Amino acid sequence: MEKFSDFRDKGTGISPFMPIPNPDDDKVLMKYLINPIVFAIKLPFAIALVPLLLLTTIVPQLHKLLLGIYLTVFFNVKQVEFLVDGVKKSNTKVINAKKPHINDIVFINFSSPLDSLALDLTSQTRNNIFLYIAKDGSIQEIGSPKAAFIFALTGATSIQSNNVDESLNLQKYKNKTVFLIIEGTTTNNKAILKFPKAFNLKLFVETNKSQFKFKAVNIKSHPTYLTVSPIPQSLHSFIYKNLSSICFNVSYKLKLFDDLGTSFTEDNVREKMSNFGRLKLISEDFDVDTKARFVKSYNRVKR
Ligand SMILES: *[C@@H]1O[C@H](CO)[C@@H](O)[C@H](O)[C@H]1NC(C)=O
Ligand SMILES: *[C@@H]1O[C@H](CO)[C@@H](O)[C@H](O)[C@H]1NC(C)=O
Ligand SMILES: *[C@@H]1O[C@H](CO)[C@@H](O)[C@H](O)[C@H]1NC(C)=O
Ligand SMILES: *[C@@H]1O[C@H](CO)[C@@H](O)[C@H](O)[C@H]1NC(C)=O
Ligand SMILES: *[C@@H]1O[C@H](CO)[C@@H](O)[C@H](O)[C@H]1NC(C)=O
Protein backbone atom coordinates (compact mmCIF):
# COMPACT_ATOMS: atom_id res chain seq x y z
CA MET A 1 0.00 0.00 0.00
CA GLU A 2 2.98 2.27 -0.56
CA LYS A 3 0.90 4.27 -3.00
CA PHE A 4 -0.87 5.80 -0.06
CA SER A 5 2.17 6.66 1.98
CA ASP A 6 1.20 10.33 1.79
CA PHE A 7 -1.76 9.43 3.92
CA ARG A 8 0.24 7.74 6.62
CA ASP A 9 1.01 9.58 9.82
CA LYS A 10 4.77 10.18 10.00
CA GLY A 11 5.03 9.72 13.74
CA THR A 12 2.89 6.65 14.32
CA GLY A 13 2.74 4.96 10.93
CA ILE A 14 -1.05 4.95 11.13
CA SER A 15 -3.12 5.40 8.00
CA PRO A 16 -6.45 6.35 9.56
CA PHE A 17 -8.65 6.10 6.48
CA MET A 18 -7.42 2.84 5.03
CA PRO A 19 -10.10 0.15 4.84
CA ILE A 20 -9.25 -3.03 6.74
CA PRO A 21 -9.39 -6.11 4.53
CA ASN A 22 -11.51 -9.03 5.61
CA PRO A 23 -9.36 -12.19 5.52
CA ASP A 24 -12.47 -14.21 4.66
CA ASP A 25 -13.01 -12.29 1.46
CA ASP A 26 -10.98 -14.68 -0.60
CA LYS A 27 -12.56 -17.92 0.51
CA VAL A 28 -14.18 -19.13 -2.69
CA LEU A 29 -16.70 -21.59 -1.32
CA MET A 30 -17.82 -19.01 1.20
CA LYS A 31 -18.08 -16.24 -1.32
CA TYR A 32 -19.92 -18.04 -4.09
CA LEU A 33 -22.03 -20.53 -2.26
CA ILE A 34 -22.48 -20.05 1.45
CA ASN A 35 -22.76 -16.27 1.51
CA PRO A 36 -25.49 -16.03 -1.14
CA ILE A 37 -27.52 -18.72 0.60
CA VAL A 38 -27.20 -17.10 4.00
CA PHE A 39 -28.17 -13.78 2.48
CA ALA A 40 -31.27 -15.24 0.81
CA ILE A 41 -32.40 -16.71 4.10
CA LYS A 42 -31.75 -13.62 6.24
CA LEU A 43 -32.96 -10.90 3.91
CA PRO A 44 -36.75 -11.43 4.17
CA PHE A 45 -36.54 -11.39 7.95
CA ALA A 46 -34.29 -8.37 7.96
CA ILE A 47 -36.79 -6.44 5.87
CA ALA A 48 -39.86 -7.64 7.73
CA LEU A 49 -38.43 -6.56 11.06
CA VAL A 50 -37.63 -2.98 10.10
CA PRO A 51 -41.17 -1.60 10.54
CA LEU A 52 -41.40 -3.37 13.88
CA LEU A 53 -38.11 -1.86 14.92
CA LEU A 54 -39.30 1.63 14.02
CA LEU A 55 -42.69 1.19 15.63
CA THR A 56 -41.29 -0.03 18.91
CA THR A 57 -39.27 3.13 19.50
CA ILE A 58 -42.23 4.28 21.57
CA VAL A 59 -41.62 1.40 23.98
CA PRO A 60 -37.90 1.74 24.66
CA GLN A 61 -37.50 -1.58 26.48
CA LEU A 62 -39.01 -3.57 23.67
CA HIS A 63 -37.14 -1.53 21.09
CA LYS A 64 -33.81 -2.26 22.71
CA LEU A 65 -34.57 -5.93 22.97
CA LEU A 66 -35.42 -6.10 19.28
CA LEU A 67 -32.48 -3.93 18.28
CA GLY A 68 -30.14 -6.22 20.21
CA ILE A 69 -31.51 -9.26 18.39
CA TYR A 70 -31.32 -7.41 15.11
CA LEU A 71 -27.70 -6.50 15.64
CA THR A 72 -26.81 -10.07 16.48
CA VAL A 73 -28.71 -11.91 13.78
CA PHE A 74 -28.15 -9.56 10.88
CA PHE A 75 -24.99 -7.70 11.74
CA ASN A 76 -23.06 -10.31 13.68
CA VAL A 77 -22.74 -8.23 16.84
CA LYS A 78 -22.69 -10.67 19.71
CA GLN A 79 -22.09 -8.18 22.47
CA VAL A 80 -22.40 -4.49 23.26
CA GLU A 81 -20.70 -3.72 26.52
CA PHE A 82 -21.05 -0.36 28.24
CA LEU A 83 -18.49 0.73 30.80
CA VAL A 84 -17.88 3.88 32.77
CA ASP A 85 -14.38 5.12 33.43
CA GLY A 86 -13.52 4.64 37.08
CA VAL A 87 -16.56 2.49 37.88
CA LYS A 88 -16.27 -1.26 38.46
CA LYS A 89 -17.93 -3.48 35.87
CA SER A 90 -19.97 -5.13 38.61
CA ASN A 91 -21.49 -1.84 39.71
CA THR A 92 -24.31 -2.04 37.19
CA LYS A 93 -26.52 0.36 39.11
CA VAL A 94 -24.14 3.26 38.69
CA ILE A 95 -23.26 2.23 35.18
CA ASN A 96 -26.87 2.14 34.06
CA ALA A 97 -27.53 5.50 35.64
CA LYS A 98 -24.70 7.04 33.68
CA LYS A 99 -25.83 5.83 30.30
CA PRO A 100 -26.46 8.69 27.89
CA HIS A 101 -29.73 10.41 28.67
CA ILE A 102 -31.61 13.58 27.83
CA ASN A 103 -29.72 16.85 27.76
CA ASP A 104 -26.40 15.08 27.37
CA ILE A 105 -24.05 16.08 24.61
CA VAL A 106 -21.89 13.06 24.07
CA PHE A 107 -18.65 13.41 22.14
CA ILE A 108 -17.99 10.34 20.06
CA ASN A 109 -15.60 9.10 17.46
CA PHE A 110 -17.18 7.19 14.68
CA SER A 111 -16.14 4.52 12.26
CA SER A 112 -19.06 2.33 11.29
CA PRO A 113 -22.79 2.39 10.58
CA LEU A 114 -23.10 -0.11 13.39
CA ASP A 115 -21.69 2.42 15.86
CA SER A 116 -24.90 4.40 15.67
CA LEU A 117 -26.99 1.34 16.47
CA ALA A 118 -24.71 0.38 19.35
CA LEU A 119 -25.12 3.88 20.79
CA ASP A 120 -28.87 3.79 20.28
CA LEU A 121 -28.92 0.53 22.16
CA THR A 122 -27.11 1.96 25.18
CA SER A 123 -28.86 5.30 25.37
CA GLN A 124 -31.51 5.72 28.06
CA THR A 125 -33.79 7.67 25.77
CA ARG A 126 -35.42 7.22 22.45
CA ASN A 127 -34.72 10.73 21.26
CA ASN A 128 -31.22 10.21 20.00
CA ILE A 129 -29.85 12.75 17.57
CA PHE A 130 -26.53 12.73 15.78
CA LEU A 131 -24.57 15.87 14.90
CA TYR A 132 -21.10 16.37 13.53
CA ILE A 133 -18.54 19.13 13.43
CA ALA A 134 -18.13 20.31 9.86
CA LYS A 135 -14.78 21.43 8.56
CA ASP A 136 -15.76 25.09 8.81
CA GLY A 137 -16.16 24.54 12.54
CA SER A 138 -19.94 24.70 12.54
CA ILE A 139 -22.15 22.04 14.05
CA GLN A 140 -24.36 20.25 11.57
CA GLU A 141 -27.23 17.86 12.02
CA ILE A 142 -27.18 14.30 10.75
CA GLY A 143 -30.39 13.17 12.45
CA SER A 144 -31.63 9.87 13.81
CA PRO A 145 -29.49 6.77 14.36
CA LYS A 146 -30.76 5.58 11.00
CA ALA A 147 -29.47 8.76 9.37
CA ALA A 148 -26.13 8.30 11.14
CA PHE A 149 -25.99 4.76 9.79
CA ILE A 150 -26.23 6.17 6.26
CA PHE A 151 -23.81 9.01 7.08
CA ALA A 152 -21.16 6.43 7.99
CA LEU A 153 -21.62 4.75 4.63
CA THR A 154 -21.14 7.94 2.67
CA GLY A 155 -17.62 8.00 4.06
CA ALA A 156 -18.88 10.99 5.98
CA THR A 157 -17.27 13.55 3.74
CA SER A 158 -19.83 14.11 1.04
CA ILE A 159 -22.42 16.07 2.97
CA GLN A 160 -19.76 18.41 4.25
CA SER A 161 -19.79 20.66 1.26
CA ASN A 162 -23.49 21.32 0.85
CA ASN A 163 -26.16 21.54 3.49
CA VAL A 164 -24.11 23.77 5.73
CA ASP A 165 -26.41 26.02 7.65
CA GLU A 166 -24.23 28.34 9.65
CA SER A 167 -25.03 27.68 13.22
CA LEU A 168 -27.38 25.22 14.70
CA ASN A 169 -29.35 26.41 17.62
CA LEU A 170 -28.77 23.77 20.23
CA GLN A 171 -31.98 24.75 21.98
CA LYS A 172 -33.75 22.57 19.55
CA TYR A 173 -32.06 19.56 21.12
CA LYS A 174 -33.35 20.14 24.61
CA ASN A 175 -34.78 16.93 26.02
CA LYS A 176 -32.89 14.85 23.53
CA THR A 177 -29.66 12.91 23.72
CA VAL A 178 -27.10 14.38 21.37
CA PHE A 179 -24.19 12.42 19.95
CA LEU A 180 -21.58 14.70 18.44
CA ILE A 181 -19.07 13.25 15.99
CA ILE A 182 -16.05 15.30 16.93
CA GLU A 183 -13.71 14.24 14.18
CA GLY A 184 -16.35 15.19 11.63
CA THR A 185 -15.90 11.98 9.71
CA THR A 186 -15.33 8.23 9.95
CA THR A 187 -11.92 6.65 10.45
CA ASN A 188 -10.77 3.05 10.56
CA ASN A 189 -10.82 2.97 14.34
CA LYS A 190 -7.06 3.24 14.75
CA ALA A 191 -6.53 6.82 15.83
CA ILE A 192 -8.18 10.01 16.96
CA LEU A 193 -8.03 12.89 14.50
CA LYS A 194 -7.73 16.52 15.41
CA PHE A 195 -11.06 18.28 15.67
CA PRO A 196 -11.84 20.44 12.64
CA LYS A 197 -9.54 23.44 13.08
CA ALA A 198 -12.19 26.12 12.97
CA PHE A 199 -14.17 24.57 15.79
CA ASN A 200 -13.98 26.44 19.07
CA LEU A 201 -14.47 23.79 21.72
CA LYS A 202 -14.08 26.13 24.65
CA LEU A 203 -16.69 28.54 23.41
CA PHE A 204 -19.01 25.70 22.53
CA VAL A 205 -18.79 24.21 25.99
CA GLU A 206 -18.82 27.48 27.92
CA THR A 207 -21.93 28.77 26.21
CA ASN A 208 -23.86 25.53 26.40
CA LYS A 209 -22.89 23.99 29.70
CA SER A 210 -25.74 25.44 31.67
CA GLN A 211 -28.20 23.55 29.48
CA PHE A 212 -26.35 20.37 28.64
CA LYS A 213 -24.05 17.93 30.31
CA PHE A 214 -20.92 17.02 28.36
CA LYS A 215 -19.63 13.48 28.19
CA ALA A 216 -17.38 11.48 25.92
CA VAL A 217 -17.83 7.93 24.76
CA ASN A 218 -15.00 5.97 23.31
CA ILE A 219 -16.30 3.37 20.88
CA LYS A 220 -14.27 0.28 20.30
CA SER A 221 -15.30 -2.57 18.05
CA HIS A 222 -13.60 -5.87 17.44
CA PRO A 223 -12.63 -7.26 15.00
CA THR A 224 -12.53 -3.99 13.10
CA TYR A 225 -12.46 -5.62 9.69
CA LEU A 226 -16.07 -6.58 10.35
CA THR A 227 -17.24 -3.10 11.22
CA VAL A 228 -15.39 -0.07 9.92
CA SER A 229 -16.32 1.79 6.76
CA PRO A 230 -13.83 4.64 6.28
CA ILE A 231 -14.39 4.69 2.52
CA PRO A 232 -17.77 5.46 0.96
CA GLN A 233 -19.71 2.40 -0.04
CA SER A 234 -23.24 1.69 -1.10
CA LEU A 235 -25.92 0.64 1.35
CA HIS A 236 -26.47 -2.42 -0.82
CA SER A 237 -22.92 -3.64 -0.59
CA PHE A 238 -22.85 -3.09 3.14
CA ILE A 239 -26.12 -4.93 3.68
CA TYR A 240 -25.09 -7.76 1.38
CA LYS A 241 -21.72 -8.24 3.03
CA ASN A 242 -23.08 -8.17 6.52
CA LEU A 243 -26.25 -10.18 6.04
CA SER A 244 -24.47 -12.85 4.05
CA SER A 245 -21.95 -13.69 6.72
CA ILE A 246 -22.35 -15.96 9.70
CA CYS A 247 -19.70 -15.02 12.18
CA PHE A 248 -21.40 -13.88 15.32
CA ASN A 249 -18.25 -12.49 16.75
CA VAL A 250 -18.31 -8.71 16.59
CA SER A 251 -18.10 -7.11 19.99
CA TYR A 252 -18.54 -3.51 21.00
CA LYS A 253 -17.06 -1.85 24.00
CA LEU A 254 -18.32 1.63 24.78
CA LYS A 255 -16.52 3.49 27.53
CA LEU A 256 -17.96 6.63 29.00
CA PHE A 257 -15.98 9.50 30.46
CA ASP A 258 -18.27 11.80 32.33
CA ASP A 259 -15.92 13.96 34.30
CA LEU A 260 -14.59 16.01 31.44
CA GLY A 261 -14.53 18.53 34.17
CA THR A 262 -13.20 22.01 34.15
CA SER A 263 -10.17 21.53 31.98
CA PHE A 264 -12.22 21.33 28.89
CA THR A 265 -9.58 21.53 26.24
CA GLU A 266 -9.31 19.68 22.98
CA ASP A 267 -6.21 17.87 24.16
CA ASN A 268 -8.02 16.73 27.26
CA VAL A 269 -11.01 15.44 25.34
CA ARG A 270 -8.85 13.75 22.76
CA GLU A 271 -6.77 12.14 25.44
CA LYS A 272 -9.87 10.74 27.10
CA MET A 273 -11.20 9.58 23.77
CA SER A 274 -7.94 7.82 23.17
CA ASN A 275 -8.45 5.91 26.37
CA PHE A 276 -5.64 7.78 28.07
CA GLY A 277 -3.23 7.55 25.22
CA ARG A 278 -3.70 3.88 24.60
CA LEU A 279 -4.93 4.88 21.19
CA LYS A 280 -2.65 6.99 19.10
CA LEU A 281 -3.33 10.64 18.63
CA ILE A 282 -2.09 11.49 15.20
CA SER A 283 -0.79 14.68 13.71
CA GLU A 284 -2.78 17.71 12.70
CA ASP A 285 -2.45 16.92 9.04
CA PHE A 286 -5.29 14.47 9.17
CA ASP A 287 -8.72 15.94 8.85
CA VAL A 288 -11.77 15.82 6.66
CA ASP A 289 -9.95 17.39 3.73
CA THR A 290 -7.14 14.86 3.93
CA LYS A 291 -9.76 12.20 3.97
CA ALA A 292 -11.52 13.54 0.89
CA ARG A 293 -8.20 13.46 -0.95
CA PHE A 294 -7.50 9.96 0.30
CA VAL A 295 -10.88 8.68 -0.87
CA LYS A 296 -10.29 10.16 -4.30
CA SER A 297 -6.91 8.60 -4.76
CA TYR A 298 -8.00 5.30 -3.22
CA ASN A 299 -10.90 4.99 -5.60
CA ARG A 300 -8.70 5.92 -8.54
CA VAL A 301 -6.20 3.19 -7.74
CA LYS A 302 -8.92 0.62 -7.08
CA ARG A 303 -10.49 1.29 -10.45
C1 LIG B 1 -38.23 19.56 28.20
O2 LIG B 1 -38.84 18.84 29.25
C3 LIG B 1 -39.25 19.66 30.32
C4 LIG B 1 -39.70 18.77 31.46
O5 LIG B 1 -40.48 17.72 31.00
C6 LIG B 1 -40.33 20.60 29.82
O7 LIG B 1 -40.77 21.44 30.86
C8 LIG B 1 -39.77 21.44 28.69
O9 LIG B 1 -40.79 22.27 28.13
C10 LIG B 1 -39.18 20.58 27.59
N11 LIG B 1 -38.49 21.43 26.67
C12 LIG B 1 -38.53 21.28 25.34
C13 LIG B 1 -37.78 22.26 24.51
O14 LIG B 1 -39.17 20.37 24.82
C1 LIG C 1 -23.90 26.61 22.00
O2 LIG C 1 -22.90 26.32 21.02
C3 LIG C 1 -23.16 26.86 19.74
C4 LIG C 1 -22.13 26.36 18.80
O5 LIG C 1 -20.84 26.74 19.17
C6 LIG C 1 -23.19 28.37 19.83
O7 LIG C 1 -23.47 28.91 18.56
C8 LIG C 1 -24.28 28.75 20.82
O9 LIG C 1 -24.28 30.11 20.98
C10 LIG C 1 -24.05 28.08 22.16
N11 LIG C 1 -25.07 28.43 23.12
C12 LIG C 1 -26.35 28.15 23.05
C13 LIG C 1 -27.17 28.54 24.23
O14 LIG C 1 -26.86 27.58 22.10
C1 LIG D 1 -20.05 -5.38 7.06
O2 LIG D 1 -19.69 -4.37 6.14
C3 LIG D 1 -18.42 -3.79 6.36
C4 LIG D 1 -18.24 -2.67 5.41
O5 LIG D 1 -18.29 -3.13 4.10
C6 LIG D 1 -17.35 -4.82 6.17
O7 LIG D 1 -16.09 -4.24 6.44
C8 LIG D 1 -17.62 -5.95 7.12
O9 LIG D 1 -16.67 -6.94 6.91
C10 LIG D 1 -19.03 -6.49 6.96
N11 LIG D 1 -19.30 -7.43 8.02
C12 LIG D 1 -19.26 -8.73 7.85
C13 LIG D 1 -19.60 -9.54 9.03
O14 LIG D 1 -18.97 -9.23 6.79
C1 LIG E 1 -14.89 -14.29 13.59
O2 LIG E 1 -15.52 -15.33 12.86
C3 LIG E 1 -14.93 -15.60 11.60
C4 LIG E 1 -15.83 -16.57 10.88
O5 LIG E 1 -16.26 -17.58 11.75
C6 LIG E 1 -13.53 -16.09 11.80
O7 LIG E 1 -12.94 -16.34 10.55
C8 LIG E 1 -12.75 -15.05 12.54
O9 LIG E 1 -11.44 -15.52 12.80
C10 LIG E 1 -13.42 -14.66 13.83
N11 LIG E 1 -12.70 -13.52 14.36
C12 LIG E 1 -12.49 -13.35 15.65
C13 LIG E 1 -11.74 -12.15 16.04
O14 LIG E 1 -12.90 -14.12 16.48
C1 LIG F 1 -12.39 5.80 19.19
O2 LIG F 1 -11.32 5.97 20.03
C3 LIG F 1 -11.09 4.81 20.78
C4 LIG F 1 -10.20 5.12 21.90
O5 LIG F 1 -9.03 5.61 21.55
C6 LIG F 1 -10.55 3.75 19.90
O7 LIG F 1 -10.15 2.64 20.63
C8 LIG F 1 -11.65 3.42 18.98
O9 LIG F 1 -11.21 2.48 18.09
C10 LIG F 1 -12.16 4.66 18.26
N11 LIG F 1 -13.43 4.33 17.74
C12 LIG F 1 -13.85 4.74 16.59
C13 LIG F 1 -15.25 4.40 16.31
O14 LIG F 1 -13.14 5.38 15.82
pLDDT given at position 134: 84
pLDDT given at position 156: 64
pLDDT given at position 265: 74
Q: Whose CA is nearest to atom 1 of ligand 2?
A: 208
Phi, psi of 156 (to 5 degrees): 55, 35
Task: Select from 239, 202, 299 the least CA-distant residue to 35.
Answer: 239
pLDDT given at position 159: 52
Model pTM? Answer: 0.88
Contact between 102 and 218 (Cβ < 8 Å): no
pLDDT digit string (tens) for 241-256?
Answer: 999 998 899 999 999 9
Q: What angle do CA 195, 197, 202 make, to 5 degrees?
A: 70
pLDDT given at position 82: 96
Cβ-based neighbours of 255, under 8 Å, separated by 6 or more: 83, 84, 85, 217, 218, 220, 275
| 169 CA → ligand 2 middle, Å | 6
Residues of the chain with pLDDT under 50: 160-163
Report the nearest atom of ligand 3 relative to the CA of 22: 9
Q: Whose CA is nearest to atom 8 of ligand 1?
A: 175
| 150 CA → ligand 4 middle, Å | 26
Phi-psi group of 103: left, alpha or beta (phi > 0 → left; psi -120 to 50 → alpha; rest → beta):
left
Q: What angle do CA 279, 107, 231 make, to 5 degrees?
A: 65
pLDDT digit string (tens) for 200-224?
Answer: 888 888 888 888 999 999 999 999 8
Counting ligand 2 atoms within 8 A of each CB, the residue from 203, 211, 264 with the most, and so the one to mutate, is 203
